[in-house]
């Protein structure tokens, strides 16, 4: 059973208004990544694509203050997003369920998933959205690039 211990909407536009076709949801899965989360969220806020919803799903982090870091960041940056939500699972359910929780809460067809220990380039979402719009494809995804102590392109295989 999927249970949420806590759901908090930190900023929302008028709920009676339909989201625009250009709106994209960014879903951030979080589990004990408080140290990485601000850089991840900063990279989301820096997107050239302006029309964004943000959903952070904390999958019952228990070794750090991930949820508090997320809450503080979202509160400070809520104005950047059409809607920003922090959801918290009552018990750890794994990455797939964290993403599924975000999919259920998204109000857009286009949902970009990112883990809290990753970052994205400023034009990533605009390029992915353009690819979807131009091709009619059901999905588009990025190439991984390792950074930090190891700098190289990641796995180029088809995403499964």
Residue in 84, 56, 51 with CA at minimum distance from that of residue 70: 56
Q: Which residue has the higher pLDDT, 26 or 154?
A: 26
User: What are residue 30's DSSP bridge partners?
Assistant: 58
Q: Can you list the alpha helix ranges (DSSP code H) found in 78-138?
A: 95-105, 124-135
pLDDT beyond 90 at 6 = no
pLDDT band at 90 (very low <50, low <70, confident <90, very high): very high
> According to the model, what pLDDT value does residue 144 have?
77
- Interatomic CA distance for residues 28 and 148, integer angstroms: 20
Cβ neighbours of 98 (radius 10 Å): 26
Sign of the torsion angle spanned by Cα atoms 2, 137, 15, 73? positive
Whole-number pLDDT of residue 157: 65
pLDDT band at 147 (very low <50, low <70, confident <90, very high): confident
pLDDT of residue 136: 94
């Amino acid at each position: 059973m999927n249970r949420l211990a806590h759901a908090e909407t930190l900023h929302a536009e008028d709920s009676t208004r339909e989201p625009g076709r250009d709106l994209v949801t960014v879903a951030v899965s979080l589990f004990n990544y408080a140290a990485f989360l601000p850089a991840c969220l900063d990279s989301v806020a820096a997107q050239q694509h302006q029309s964004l919803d943000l959903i952070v799903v904390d999958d019952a982090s228990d070794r750090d203050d991930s949820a508090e870091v997320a809450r503080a960041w979202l509160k400070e940056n809520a104005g950047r997003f059409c809607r920003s939500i922090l959801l918290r699972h009552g018990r750890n359910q794994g990455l797939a369920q964290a993403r599924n929780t975000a999919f259920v809460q998204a109000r857009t067809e286009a949902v970009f998933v990112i883990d809290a220990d990753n970052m994205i380039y400023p034009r990533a979402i605009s390029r992915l959205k353009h690819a979807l719009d131009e091709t009619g494809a059901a999905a588009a995804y990025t190439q991984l690039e390792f950074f930090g102590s190891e700098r190289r392109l990641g796995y180029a295989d088809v995403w499964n």
